[in-house]
Structure 1
């Protein structure tokens, strides 16, 4: 993957690098619309963990929450009502600072964002304030992956690197990659789970903070590797609690993928 290769050349080591799906790995860091390829539908009978409404519409499995659907990868999950659910063709992620935004470190699609304008600053003094969100969650493809363990480990590390280490020029040793755990969602989707964090990466800049990213690597119904990641600020008053992260993660399920045109 071009963007990750550039970062790796800069000396980021300690976790493997392999490409995700091309449509999830190109584009600006700020949310923007982008057409994406879609997969042929492979519907499966729904159960309590794969709630379907009339007409096949996905419904949240937790009362009062919102459902987030990524038709490209055939996945869905729920988020609390205070999260903003973006459109399925929205991309969000982090640019490579060295290339002035021409390339991206890592990106995911169909996200939900918590407090998109959690902090606003103009650190580069260009007269255009930049907004920093508190947290975000979404999914991305990992074509070329060998197993769910690598997906979870690599993506969690890249998210904290892109959002909380590379941006502040902090040493890569500030990243701590957690242990790989086996995990099964409430709907029965099995995979691997890793949480990576930073420590000592934040500067004194107004919107800087330590970061954490939890990635669940699994296969969708078509047998493709997918990474679900929730990343956000760590060590701040409004940090997303681990219990909430796990509650959202528990709702990850298969849903019907969009058919190709």
Structure 2
């Protein structure tokens, strides 16, 4: 996995479960991932609940027992779905995107900072230098119940860490005004961070990229947040229209409480 402007190390962590509920997970494969520190109130999935927690071990072969897959129909004709077990959240994805198991964690790390999401989907994974991905999506959460504040906070956090470069100056970014809307009957807010990467440009360092965050009212006065990172102005880039179509399908996945309940509290969830 990777990200729009390339970080120090993009990471994809594929998790496997040893029970039907996936209460025990182990790290299967990851890029080099040092101990992480997450700052701000945009809270990543991997701090809250075993479904989104990676126990660091030596990398293991990628052929594993996959997490049980629920059958969740897409709202968009011809599309597929990606869903987060711990957040009981699902969204539609175009057929040309890759959807790994629902226990796969996707995100960025830079220095001692790491941000991750579950319910992952990728467009053309490892299409450049064996790791860069043209777009990725996933679900995280925020303690902030104000969806506008949550969307802005997560966008700032992801753009800051996602725009970090190890071999050149960091990308700069600007935030759009907050767009308030309704997503599948729930109050929501949308913010776009537009990143500008310093030259020279190549397939892993596009000139521009975007981070879309859509925060929707969740349980317990918190927010469920979907994030989409995407390269811009490159061959095969996903469009704004496609991204909007994706996040407008964000909704509860309809999992039974026993299937998504965590021993640890998950921030930003629709799991009862």
What is the CA distance between 1:146 and its match in structure 2? 4.6
- Return the alpha-carbon distance in structure 2 between the equivalents of residues 190 and 168 of structure 1: 41
SS at match of 2:131: strand
In structure 2, relative to structure 1, the CA distance for the partners of 1:203 and 1:71 (3 Å cut) is same
1:7-26 paired onto structure 2 within 5 Å: 17-21=40-44, 23=46
Task: State the distance in 2 between where 1:149 and 1:169 align.
Answer: 32
| Conserved 8 A contact 1:24-1:108 | no
Q: Which residue of 1 aligns with 2:254?
A: 256
Whether the aligned pair in 2 keeps the contact of 1:3 and 1:104 (CA below 8 Å) is yes
Aligned partners of 1:208 and 1:135: how far apart in 2?
13
Distance in 2 (CA, whole Å) between partners of 1:219 and 1:194 is: 15
Please list, as runs of the form range in 1=range in 2, the aligned pairs for 1:140-179 lying within 5 A after superposition: 140-143=140-143, 145-167=144-166, 169-171=168-170, 174-179=172-177
Q: Report the more deviating stretch, 161-170 or 85-94.
A: 161-170
Provide TM-score, normalisation by structure 2.
Answer: 0.67
Kindly tell me: are residues 249 and 166 of structure 1, through their superposed partners in 2, closer, same or farther at Cα, counting changes over 3 Å?
A: same
Tell me how far apart the structure 1 counterparts of residues 52 and 94 of structure 2 sit (CA, whole Å). Answer: 26
Where does the alignment leave 5 or more consecutive residues of structure 2 unmatched? Answer: 1-35, 54-69, 264-272
More helix by share: 1
Kindly report which structure 2 residues correspond to 1:32-181, keeping only aligned pairs within 5 A, or say none.
Answer: 35-36=51-52, 57-96=71-110, 98=111, 103-120=112-129, 130-143=130-143, 145-167=144-166, 169-171=168-170, 174-181=172-179
CA–CA distance in structure 2, aligned partners of residues 221 and 60 of structure 1 = 23
The total of aligned residue pairs comes to: 207
Per-residue deviation, 1:168: 5.2
- TM-score with structure 1 setting the length: 0.70
Calculate the aligned-residue CA RMSD, in Å.
2.6
Unpaired runs of 5+ in structure 1? Answer: 6-16, 27-33, 38-55, 121-129
Give the SS at the match of 2:158.
Answer: helix
Which residue of the partner structure matches residue 199 of structure 1?
196
Q: Distance in 1 between matches of 2:170 and 2:113?
A: 19
Inter-CA distance 113–20: structure 2 relative to 1 (3 Å threshold):
same
* Cα deviation 1:209-236 (Å, max 9, x = unaligned): 1221100011225643211011111221
Tell me if the contact between 1:164 and 1:202 (Cα under 8 Å) persists in the aligned partners: no
